[in-house]
Chains A and B, each alone.
Chain A
Amino acid sequence: MNATKVETQELVVELDAVERPPEPARKNTWRRALKRDWRLYTFLIAPVIFLLIFRYLPMAGNVIAFRRFRPGSSIFGDEWVGLHYFEMFIGNEQFWNVFWNTAILGGLTLLICFPLPIVLALLLNELRSRRFKRVVQTISYLPHFLSIVIVAGIVFQLTSLDGTINQIVTAIGGDAIPFMQLPEWFRTIYVSSEVWQTVGWGTILYLAALTTIDGQLYEAARIDGANRWQQTWHITLPGIRPTMVVLLILNIGSFMAVGFEKVLLLQNPLIYSTGDVISTYLYRVGIQSAQFSYGTAIGLFEALIGLVLVLSANFVSRRLVGASLW
C-alpha cells in the first residue's frame, strides 16, 4: 500500500518537474491523468462498453413496464401507458397465486437451507480425524458443481414410479406415488433437492470462520468448567455470528428469486397450483406469450421486493446485532 503511494507521488513529482503548470492544477488533472495513464484507460474501453450495453441498457429497458411495446418497436417501446401493466397484474388472481407460491417456497427454502450448513459445519468441526473431515467435505461439495439440468434429471429419476423413492414406498407396503404430478409434493421435492445441492457447499464460509476463533477462549471456558455444549453455545456460535448475519441478509435478499431455472425444469402444468412462481410465470407470459411490457412490469415489481427485503434485513440486523453488509 505504502509503496503504491510512493510510486504515484514520484510520478507526479516527475511530471511537475517537466511541465510545472502555471494554471490551476485542477483544470489539468483529467488531461494529465489521461496523458500519463492512457494505456491503462484503454483497458477500460471494452469492459465499460460491455457494462453499458449488457447491464445498463436493459436497466433502462425496464421503462417498457410503463410503455406499450410492440414487436418491432424500439427497445424502449412506443407510447406511455402509465401504470396500466401494474394494474393488470395487481388485479390478476393468477398473479397472486404465484406470488404466494413464491413466498412460501422462498420461506421454506430459507428456513431449511439457511441453518443446515451451520449445523453441518459445527458437526464437521467436532471431527478429530482430518482425513474423515476431508472426505465428508469432498463428497458434500460435489453436487454444487452439477448443472441444474442434471439435478433436475436426478430428481425426476429418483421420484419416478420406478425410482428409488417409490421402491422404498412399495417395499413398506404403500402404493407408488406419481410425485411429480401431485401439487402437494412439489415443495417437499424442491426443498429437498435444494438441500442436497447446496448444504455441503454452504459450509465453506462457516468452516473458514470457525478457524478464526481464538483457541484461548476455549481454554478459558474449559478452566471455568464449561462443557462442550456450553463451549459451542457461548464461544463457537458467537464466533461465527458475523458470517451468519451476512449470509442471512444475502439469503433474505434473494428470497423471492427462488431458483428460477430449477423450478422451470421441475414444474409442469399439473402442479402449477404450488409449483408456479413469479419468475416462471413471468417467463411464460413475458417470453412465451410475448407480452413484453406486462412481463417487465412483473419483473420490476419482483426486483423491487428483493431490494426492499435486502435493505430492511440489513437495517434490522444493524440495529439488533450491529452487523451489516454496508
Chain B
Amino acid sequence: MVTELSKTPDILAVHSGGAIKDSRSYRVFRVVNAVVLTGVCLVTLYPFVNLIAKSFSSEGQIAAGNVNLIPRGFNTTTFQAVLTDSMFWTNYKNTVVYTVVGTLIAMAITSTYAYAISRTQLKGRTFFIGIAVFTMFFNGGLIPNYILVANFLGWRNSMWAVVVPTALSIFNLLVMKSFFENFPTELEEAATIDGLTTYGVFGRIVLPLSKAVLATMTLFYAVGLWNSWFTAFLYLDDKSLFPVTVYLRNLIAAATGSQEITGGAGTDAVQIGANIQSVTMLLTVLPIICLYPFLQKYFVSGVMLGSVKG
C-alpha cells in the first residue's frame, strides 16, 4: 500500500511533466486553457469586486451606471448608516444565536446517532440506519411540515422553528458514521477495561479523537444555518426575530420593488439605494469570507469523506 502511494506521484509527474514532447497543438491548447481558466476566475470574482466598489460609492454614481471595479464618489457613510441601524444589529445577533444554537442541537443529535449506529454490536442497527436513510428519498413536503411546525407545535414566531426542524442532515450523519466505524476499537476496549462506561468512552475517548470530523460537520451545519433564510421567512413575522438574511431579503425586495412583500415582512416601500444593499450583503457574507480558508479545506474533505462511502 505504502509503495503504491509513493509511486503514484512519480507516474503523474511523468504524465504531466513531459514538457519537451508536447506537440505544437498541445502548446496552443495550454495557452488557451490558461486564458480560459483566468477568465473563469475573473468572472467569478467580478460580482464580489463590484459589491465592494458599490459599498464605498455614492448612490448618485451607482445610479448613473459609473461603478464597476473601483468606488466612485468614495465614502464610508453607507457603512455608518447600516451599522447604526439597530434592526440590522438585532437581526445580525439573531443570526449568530440561531447559528450557534442550531449547530449545537444538530451536532448533539448527529454525533450521538452516528456513534450508536456505527457500533456493530447494536441490535437493530440496520433498522436504525434504515429509518434515517429512507428520509433522504422521501420527505413530507412543504405544507405538511408547515402545518406541523406552525399549527401543531405552535412554533410560529419562535426560534425553535428555525433551529430544530433542520437539525439532522442524513449526509452528515452517514459521513460521521463511517468515520466512527473506522475508529480503532482497541482504544475503546482498553477504556472499557479501565472501567469507562459507554458514556465515558464516547465523551472522553471518541469525541476528543474525532476533532477533524466534528469540525467539518460543525462547519457544514453552521454555514447552512448562517445562510438559511427560508424557514425564518416562513415561520417568523416579528421583525425583531428575523435573521440577517431575511433582513437582507426584505431590503432587496423593497429596493427592486419587484416582489410582493409577504409574510408580514413589513419593510417600508422606500427606495433603498444599491449602496445600502451592497453594504448589507458585504456584512452578511463577511464571516464566511473570513473563515473561507478553513471552510474550503474542511468542506472539501467532508465531501470526499461522503463520496467514498456514498
Q: Does B207 contact A (CB under 8 A)?
A: no
Partner-contacting stretch, out of B36-44, B77-85, B209-217: B36-44
How far, in whole Å, are A154 and B229 apart by their CA atoms in the complex? 16
Q: How far is the CB of B285 from chain A (nearest CB, A)?
A: 6
A55 x B139 contact (CB < 8 A): yes
How far, in whole Å, are A114 and B198 apart by their CA atoms in the complex? 45
Query: Which of B50, B121, B303, B304 gathers most chain A CB within 10 Å?
Result: B121
- Chain A residues near B23: list those with CB within 8 A: 227-228
With both beta carbons as reference points, the residue of chain A lying nearest to B186 in the complex is identified as: A3
Q: Does B33 contact A (CB under 8 A)?
A: yes
Partner of B148, one of A54, A167, A299: A54
How far, in whole Å, are A270 and B260 apart by their CA atoms in the complex? 11
B296 x A138 contact (CB < 8 A): yes
How far, in whole Å, are A55 and B143 apart by their CA atoms in the complex? 13
Q: Does B309 contact A (CB under 8 A)?
A: no
- Chain A residues near B46: list those with CB within 8 A: 164
Given A147-B227, A287-B146; A11-B131 close (CB under 8 Å): no
B252 x A149 contact (CB < 8 A): yes
Which residues in chain B, 40-81, are within 8 Å of chain A measured between CB atoms? 40-41, 43-48, 50-51, 54, 62-65, 68
Partner of A54, one of B40, B43, B44, B165: B165
- Chain A residues near B128: list those with CB within 8 A: 44, 48
B292 x A145 contact (CB < 8 A): yes
- Chain A residues near B30: list those with CB within 8 A: 126, 128
Q: Does A312 contact B (CB under 8 A)?
A: no
A50 x B245 contact (CB < 8 A): no
Given A3-B185, A75-B144; A43-B116 close (CB under 8 Å): yes
- Chain A residues near B281: list those with CB within 8 A: 150, 153-154
B41 x A127 contact (CB < 8 A): no
Q: How far is the CB of B184 from chain A (nearest CB, A)?
A: 8
Q: Does B267 contact A (CB under 8 A)?
A: no
Partner of A8, one of B8, B121, B262: B121
Interface readout for A114-141 with B: 1 if CB under 8 Å, 0 if not? 0000001001101110001001101111
Given A146-B288, A219-B15; A58-B141 close (CB under 8 Å): yes
A204 x B303 contact (CB < 8 A): yes
How far, in whole Å, are A214 and B15 apart by their CA atoms in the complex? 10
B12 x A215 contact (CB < 8 A): yes
Partner of A62, one of B62, B68, B141, B285: B141
B36 x A296 contact (CB < 8 A): no
How far, in whole Å, are A5 and B143 apart by their CA atoms in the complex? 45
Partner of B140, one of A47, A55, A69: A55
Interface readout for A3-22 with B: 1 if CB under 8 Å, 0 if not? 11101100100000000000
How far, in whole Å, are A4 and B17 apart by their CA atoms in the complex? 45
Given A39-B199, A287-B143; A180-B44 close (CB under 8 Å): no
With both beta carbons as reference points, the residue of chain B lying nearest to A123 in the complex is identified as: B33
With both beta carbons as reference points, the residue of chain A lying nearest to B137 in the complex is identified as: A307
Partner of B120, one of A4, A219, A264: A4
Given A37-B121, A59-B140, A75-B151; A142-B34 close (CB under 8 Å): no
- Chain A residues near B137: list those with CB within 8 A: 307, 310
Given A29-B123, A149-B245; A228-B29 close (CB under 8 Å): yes
How far, in whole Å, are A150 and B41 apart by their CA atoms in the complex? 19
Partner of A64, one of B138, B144, B245: B144
Given A39-B197, A162-B64, A205-B307; A148-B227 close (CB under 8 Å): yes
Known: A139-B45, A167-B68, A286-B143. 6 other contacts (CB 8 A): A5-B120, A124-B37, A141-B296, A142-B48, A146-B227, A149-B248
A-B contact pairs, 6 of them (CB 8 A): A33-B123, A51-B132, A127-B37, A145-B227, A156-B255, A268-B256
Nearest 9 pairs between A and B by C-beta? Answer: A58-B140, A215-B11, A61-B144, A147-B227, A299-B141, A33-B123, A47-B113, A268-B258, A39-B198
